[in-house]
């Protein structure tokens, strides 16, 4: 059933962009403003009491595949380069019925969806982004582990933990997704764990608001990435041939105050709790990147797009 999943943000959240580095004594993680689809699916799976056996740990990412198939009630192809009906589509940041998408460094800027046409036009013209945008606040705290006897910091376990706050008015802000779940119905689920450091958010399923349905069904050859577009290459990135980017005709880039930037980054696929290990890292185009697509029917593009990675906000031009 196509529903909207709404995570009401009640505290600052932490979503690591990749694995922690190898600094011996003092290390930190780079964090994003919004959760990757793997984290969202894990939260929804836990809320709906989906349990997996350890037999999904014999093959890389088989746990994600099994979770997606249990939630969606259908087979998924993790390595497909595009998807017409992804399990998740989003996220959008919603404040009292008004929607924003994330852009900028680590997605810290919020852009009004009503200005999406101008955003794409700015990128296509190679101009600087001049419109006013909201910025989410980065909060950093220091964490340590103590040796019980000496009460001193244990070597290698002093770190900075960074969070993003959603102090948008009127409070609270929410993360909104369109979801295609087999056994879910409208209603409030309650508080669920979302992201690292024990953070929680309120989860409810509801009938998709008219505006969300409109954004999901919009057509156009250009689109804005709402979540990381995953790909793999050991050389140059080539739209049309790089695995994950076969359906991308052109990577236009991301408009920022300095101009239009072409960016790629490394994205982790999250931590598998059932297998007790981190999933692989992949290359990605960040949210906010403007793309020109070959296939107008796709709602997500890139590797793992069936899960919701590479969700596309289509734009009429």
Those residues whose C-beta lies under 8 Å from the C-beta of residue 236, and which sit 6 or more positions away, are: none
Which of 96-105, 144-153, 288-297 is predicted least confidently?
144-153
Query: Bigger pLDDT: 17 or 315?
Result: 315
Over the stretch 99-127, which tens digit does the pLDDT of each residue have?
999 998 777 888 999 999 999 999 999 98
DSSP 126-154: TPPP-S--EEPEEEEEEEEEE-TTT-SEE
User: What stretches of 84-138 show up as alpha helix (H) in DSSP?
Assistant: 116-125
| pLDDT at residue 296 is higher than 90 | no
pLDDT above 70: residue 238: yes
pTM > 0.85 = yes
Taking residues 138-165, report their average pLDDT: 66
Measured over the CA atoms of residue 165, residue 204, residue 1 and residue 115, the dihedral's sign is negative
Say which DSSP state 37 is in.
H
DSSP three-state, residue 122: helix
Asked which of 55-64, 125-134, 170-179, 257-266 is least confident by mean pLDDT, the reply is 125-134
Q: Per-residue pLDDT tens for 41-96? A: 999 999 999 999 999 999 999 999 999 999 999 999 999 999 999 999 999 999 88
pLDDT of residue 271: 87
Q: What is the pLDDT of residue 26?
A: 43
Q: Does residue 18 have a pLDDT over 70?
A: no
Q: Which is it for strands 98-103 and 88-95: parallel, antiparallel or unpaired?
A: antiparallel
* Domain residue extents for the chain: 2-315
């Amino acid at each position: 059933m196509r529903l909207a999943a709404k995570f009401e943000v009640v505290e600052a959240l932490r979503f690591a962009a990749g694995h922690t580095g190898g600094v011996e004594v003092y290390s930190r993680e780079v964090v994003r403003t919004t959760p990757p689809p793997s984290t969202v699916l894990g939260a929804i799976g836990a809320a709906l009491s989906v349990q997996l056996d350890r037999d999904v740990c014999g093959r890389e990412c088989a746990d994600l595949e099994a979770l997606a198939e249990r939630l969606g009630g259908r087979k998924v192809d993790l390595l497909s380069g595009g998807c017409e009906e992804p399990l998740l589509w989003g996220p959008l940041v919603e404040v009292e019925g008004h929607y924003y998408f994330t852009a900028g460094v680590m997605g810290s800027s919020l852009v009004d969806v009503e200005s999406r046409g101008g955003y794409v036009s700015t990128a296509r013209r190679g101009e600087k982004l001049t419109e006013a945008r909201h910025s989410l606040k980065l909060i950093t705290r220091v964490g340590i582990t103590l040796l019980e006897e000496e009460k001193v910091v244990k070597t290698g376990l002093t770190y900075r933990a960074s969070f993003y706050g959603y102090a948008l008015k009127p409070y609270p802000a929410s993360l909104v997704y369109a979801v295609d779940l087999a056994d879910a119905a409208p209603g409030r689920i309650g508080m669920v764990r979302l992201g690292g450091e024990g953070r929680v958010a309120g989860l409810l399923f509801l009938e998709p608001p008219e505006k969300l349905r409109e954004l999901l069904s919009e057509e156009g050859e250009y689109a804005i990435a709402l979540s990381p577009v995953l790909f793999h290459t050991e050389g140059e990135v080539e739209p049309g041939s790089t695995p994950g980017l076969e359906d991308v005709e052109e990577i236009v880039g991301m408009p920022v105050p300095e101009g239009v930037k072409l960016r790629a980054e490394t994205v982790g696929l999250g931590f598998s709790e059932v297998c007790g290990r981190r999933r692989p890292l992949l290359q990605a185009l960040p949210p906010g990147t403007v793309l020109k697509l070959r296939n107008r029917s796709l709602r997500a593009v890139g590797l793992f797009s069936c899960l919701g990675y590479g969700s596309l906000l289509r734009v009429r031009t």
